Amino acid sequence: MKPIIREAKLEDKPFIEEIASLTWGGEDYLARVFDEWLGDNFYVLEVDGKVIGTAKLTLLPGKVGWLEGLRVHPDYRGRGYGRKLHSFMLELGERLAREGEIEALEFSTYFLNRESIAMAKRDGFSITAKFFNLGASVETFEPERAGRTELSMEDLAFGIIPLGWKFVHRSGEALDWLREKGEVYEINGFKFLAPKGEVTFTPLSTGLACLKAMLPGMAWVAREKGRGEFDIMIPSGMKPVLPGLKRLGLFLWDETEEPNVLVFRKKLV
């Protein structure tokens, strides 16, 4: 039977839970966001009645179509299904651009995702930002309570702001979006940001001393959410603090001297 790409349906959830359980050592977020994504440019690829792939386009501030959730079941990889999903999403993006909904497509990926990077470059995407994503274990720190606080434009020091693995360009619209989708915490006079329910943190102050002051609060938030580990996302310009962060107990999943998170962009209009 010919592969079919269609909008995701509620009855697809068991298939997607299976794909998530086989991705990133079972730590994939796809199953957690399934209900939220339904009906919002969330697509699946079906082969012989089985959902074996997914892809999502999310509208972000600044008329950006954010590509995410591209997955292919491990048993079906290497057969061109990822390319098929990617091409379908490009066509969707171009249609939304013609309709005035978006002006560019963007996505982020891990630096070792060579197939995705090569595919993006072939399709006219270019790197617009680079970040370091570092991991940490809660038990490494003495967790200290962090309080919830508000986010202001003055807190947004970077031109591109991460919220988990999504990235938005600094603007008033982006500020409103971050307030809606994120949670902001403060400890020792420093603020950090995370997607609701998640534990990938964006420090809103730079410098090793600032990060050191925030880490016990991040560990506390992660512990409160029942997680044993958490991540921090910092821009590539903070590379000089990496040795200090490693001494504090943070680590890179794969050792590298270069940023391990790449943000791509393709302008459509």
CATH number at residue 48: 3.40.630.30
Residue 61 has pLDDT above 80, yes or no: yes
Residues 143 and 82 in one domain: no
Residue 260's pLDDT is: 97
CB 222 within 8 A of CB 230: yes
Provide the pLDDT confidence category of residue 105 given band limits of 50, 70 and 90: very high
Residues 137, 247 within the same domain: yes
Please say if the pLDDT value at position 119 is more than 80: yes
Whether the pLDDT of residue 1 is over 80: the answer is no
Residues 142-169: tens digit of each pLDDT: 999 999 999 999 999 999 999 999 999 9
Rg over alpha carbons for the chain, rounded to the nearest Å, is 19
Q: How far apart are CA 202 and CA 164, in angstroms?
A: 8
Q: Is residue 171 part of a domain?
A: yes
Q: Is residue 111 part of a domain?
A: no
Mean pLDDT of 224-240: 96
Question: By three-state DSSP, how is residue 70 classified?
Answer: strand
2/208: higher pLDDT: 208
Domain extent for 254: 130-262
| CATH number of the domain to which 138 belongs | 3.40.630
pLDDT at 27: 78
Give the pLDDT band (50/70/90) at residue 248.
very high
Q: Which two tokens stand for residue 126?
A: 């270019």
pLDDT, tens digit (0-9, with 9 covering 90-100), for 2-60 = 899 999 999 999 999 999 999 888 878 898 899 999 999 999 999 999 999 999 999 99
pLDDT at 26: 80
Residue 159 lies in a domain: yes
Please identify, among 57, 85, 102, the residue that sits at the C-terminal boundary of a domain: 102
Does one domain contain both 148 and 253?
yes
CA distance 67 to 265: 10
Residue 109 placed within a domain? no
Q: Which of 83, 102, 121 is the last residue of a domain?
A: 102
Q: Is residue 139 in a domain? A: yes
Task: Please name the helix (run of DSSP H) or strand (run of DSSP E) that holds residue 178, with its range, or none.
Answer: helix 172-181
Residue 34 falls within a domain, yes or no? yes
Let me know whether 81 and 10 are in one domain.
yes
Confidence of residue 262 (pLDDT cuts 50, 70, 90): very high
The average pLDDT across 179-200 equals 96
Question: Which positions ≥6 away from 43 have C-beta within 8 Å?
Answer: 5, 6, 7, 8, 54, 55, 56, 85, 88, 89
Q: Indicate whether 91 and 136 sit together in one domain.
A: no
How many structural domains comprise the chain? 2
What's the chain's average pLDDT?
95
In a domain, 172, yes or no: yes
pLDDT, residue 233, reads 98
One domain for residues 164 and 223? yes
Q: Please give the pLDDT value at position 24.
A: 80
Which stretches does DSSP call E strand in the chain?
4-7, 42-47, 50-60, 64-72, 104-110, 126-137, 147-148, 160-163, 166-169, 182-187, 190-195, 200-203, 229-235, 261-267
Model confidence at 241, pLDDT cuts 50, 70, 90, reads: very high
DSSP 8-class letter at 236: G
- Residue 132's pLDDT is 98
CA dist 23 and 189 (Å) reads 37
Cβ pair 103, 97 in contact under 8 A: yes
- pLDDT value of residue 28: 86
